[in-house]
Amino acid sequence: MDVSFDRRKILTPVRLRELAQRSDWRGWAQALSHFGAIGLTGALMSQLWNSWLIIPVFMAHGVLINFLYAGQHELSHGTPFQTKKVNEAFGRLIGFLMIYPRDFDQIQHFAHHTHTSDWEKDGELAREPYTLSSYLSWTLGFSYWSTRIARIIRLARGVVVEPYIRPDQHAKVIFEGRVHFALYALLAIGSVAMQSWALVLYWIAPMMLMKWVHQMQNTIEHLGLEHSNDIMTNTRSTQTNAVMRWMCWQMQYHTAHHMFPSVPFWKLKELNAAIEEGAGPPHKMSYIAFQIQIIRALMGGKTEADYPQHEVWIIPRANGGAMRLPAE
């Protein structure tokens, strides 16, 4: 999308090409470490069902599964691996696990990058303005999962309603939806036949119950910022720790990603430093501070529509402390 500053003042074409170099070994290191961590927490769960320790391990397992979407997101951009087929293969695997088909997600996400924060065209803004109840339902995962499951069923029926999906793309997402639906049905039938709860206990339940942690990342990236074409004012980065950045494939440097989406995840910290030097620091908040602010903003019967569309209305107060709400 267009922005109100010259990107060439931040990065020269030569420097951008250097930062945009893909690396198979970097991709494998990230993917295998993430899947390995899921395997480890899954193995620990199998040993701890009769112990109270199952609770934190179950939670960690679910959080790790949900943050696989950060990988799917990067894989849709084709940036983690130099080998294109590997990007696609891992993207389809994670999309299946996330109940979020890869081709559909890629089309939706590209619409989001092209029309960020445009209510009419942004693929990730296909919703009504948040109320407190709808925001909490989405963040806790209730409406999130019902939407994902209903979409798979709808696509399997051959129905596409999303305006950002072109008519020539309908056949692709319908076929993908039908493949997903058939595979989920086979897994369900197989589990019933084998009288096994393994898929529920180690995949579905932890993923669905711990969605709220990943939703803190999803909601912080653009909500409460300008609905404009300026990436520096419509996109927010996140203040967090190294473990969370690893688990989220460095996507907390979200402004950097939106400004130069061709740069792979492992170069985003370096890219972010260049942006801060050339264009100033992006909007940035911590997960908890943002959630406090947005919940306060939607209390008292207010909705997202009550706040200015072309101003930043979720911002941290200088020097920390309480968050400043927009005026009545």
CB 238 within 8 A of CB 284: yes
Q: Which structure tokens are listed for 229?
A: 């074409």
Query: What pLDDT is attached to residue 278?
Result: 87
Q: Which residues of 124-136 are buried (b: 16+ CB within 10 A; e: fewer)?
A: bbbeeebbbebbe
For 200, other C-beta atoms within 10 Å of its C-beta total 13
Is the model's pLDDT at 317 over the cut of 80? no
Per-residue confidence (pLDDT) for residue 232, from 0 to 100? 93
101 φ/ψ sector (left φ>0, alpha ψ -120 to 50, else beta):
beta
How many domains does the chain divide into?
Answer: 1
Percent of the chain with pLDDT over 70: 94
Greater confidence (86 vs 327) lies with 86
In a domain, 209, yes or no: yes
Beta bridge partners of 236: 283
Q: Is the pLDDT of residue 1 over 50?
A: no
Residue 312 lies in a domain: no
Using alpha carbons only, what angle is made at residue 69 by residues 63 and 70, rounded to the nearest 5 degrees? 95
Tell me how far apart the alpha carbons of residues 197 and 322 are, in angstroms, rounded to a whole number: 45
Cα end-to-end distance, the chain, whole Å: 32
**pLDDT-derived band of residue 316, with 50, 70 and 90 as boundaries?**
confident
Give the pLDDT confidence score for residue 6 in this predicted structure.
61
Whole-number Å distance between alpha carbons of 80 and 96: 18
Say if CB 323 and CB 289 are below 8 A apart. Answer: yes
- What does the alpha-carbon distance between residue 240 and residue 272 come to, in Å, rounded to a whole number? 14
**314 inside domain:** no
- Cβ count within 10 A of residue 93: 17
Is 1 within a domain? no
Q: Is residue 325 part of a domain?
A: no
Average pLDDT, the chain: 93
pLDDT band at 318 (very low <50, low <70, confident <90, very high): low
Closest alpha carbon to 80 in 225, 268, 302:
268
In a domain, 319, yes or no: no
Please tell me the predicted confidence (pLDDT) of residue 113.
95
61 and 21 Cβ atoms separated by less than 8 Å = no
The answer to whether 125 and 118 are in contact (CB under 8 A) is yes
- 260, 242 contact by CB (below 8 A): no
Per-residue pLDDT, 9: 76
- Reported as a single tens digit per residue, the pLDDT across 49-74 is 999 999 999 999 999 999 999 999 99
237 within 8 A of 220, measured Cβ to Cβ: no
> Residue 192 sits in which domain range?
7-306
Q: Are strands 283-286 and 236-239 parallel, antiparallel or unpaired?
A: parallel
Compute φ and ψ for 112, nearest 5 degrees: -65, -45
Q: Is residue 315 part of a domain?
A: no
| 144 falls within a domain | yes
CA–CA separation, 145 and 179 (whole Å): 19
Q: What is the pLDDT of residues 88-145, one digit of tens each?
A: 999 999 999 999 999 999 999 999 999 999 988 999 988 899 999 999 999 999 999 9
* Whether the predicted pLDDT of 8 surpasses 80: no
If you average pLDDT over residues 259-268, what whole number do you get? 96
